[in-house]
Homo-oligomer: A and B are copies of this chain.
Amino acid sequence: MNQIYWQNQLFTFLLYTEGKGLKKKILDCGAGGKTPPLGIFKNYGYETHGVDCSENALEKTAEFEKKHNLNLNIIKCDMRNLPYKDEEFSYAYSYNSIFHMSKEDIKSSIKEIHRVLTKGGYAFINFPSCNDERATVGKKVGEGEYLQVEFGEDVLHSYFDINEAEDNGFFEGFEVIMKENSIRNGIRQNGDKITKGYIDYILEKK
């Protein structure tokens, strides 16, 4: 399957999961969309599962699965309340997805990820950072929480300070084993400059 995935940080996560060597069973929280990154892990022999609450994202994934003759086991579900047993997964991630919630809901979702992970299992979570050019765009509804208009709809975005998540108990029961703080400057197709800021975490369940 010669698909190109744009979610390049998940290749870093793949290195960690391959290095850890637990049972190859992985969960994606926010798994839908046109190029579902669970395909990367499927390609390396993982049993894949995913949840997404967006019908639209699920439809796009269904098209991808049909085109590539794959079944990634992605279901419609809210990541704050996962329909899986405790310690069912070796690995779990939420990539460019979890921050479309309030910080309180993000904390609940990370607790759920912690619950379904086995001891020693790894989680990958990323947030947009205070370095992002959109970090204060939109209607402020909480600390670092902004409603931003996307395709005519108000969409919640939570931005994090560099040490905010670990300092505020978001990773209770986890140890941070990798953290990357990156600022990416690019150019849009129309020539405008763009600055994206992200913080990626790889966590181990204690």
Residues of A within 8 A of B (CB): 2, 4-6, 8-9, 11-12, 14-15, 18, 43-44, 176-187
Contacts and interface: CB of A to CB of B under 8 A. Distances in A.
A180 B179 contact: no
Contact of A181 (B5, B182, B187): B182
Contact of A184 (B8, B18, B178, B187): B178
A6 B182 CA distance: 18
Given A4-B15, A14-B4, A44-B4, A186 B178 contact: yes
A198 to B, nearest CB: 9
B5 A11 contact: yes
Nearest to A198: B182
Given A8-B8, A44-B2, A187 B177 contact: yes
A126 to B, nearest CB: 13
Contacts of A181: 182-185
Given A181-B183, A184-B180, A12 B8 contact: yes
Contacts of A9: 8
B185 A178 contact: yes
A18 B176 CA distance: 34
Contacts of A179: 184-186
Contacts of A180: 182-185
B2 A6 contact: no
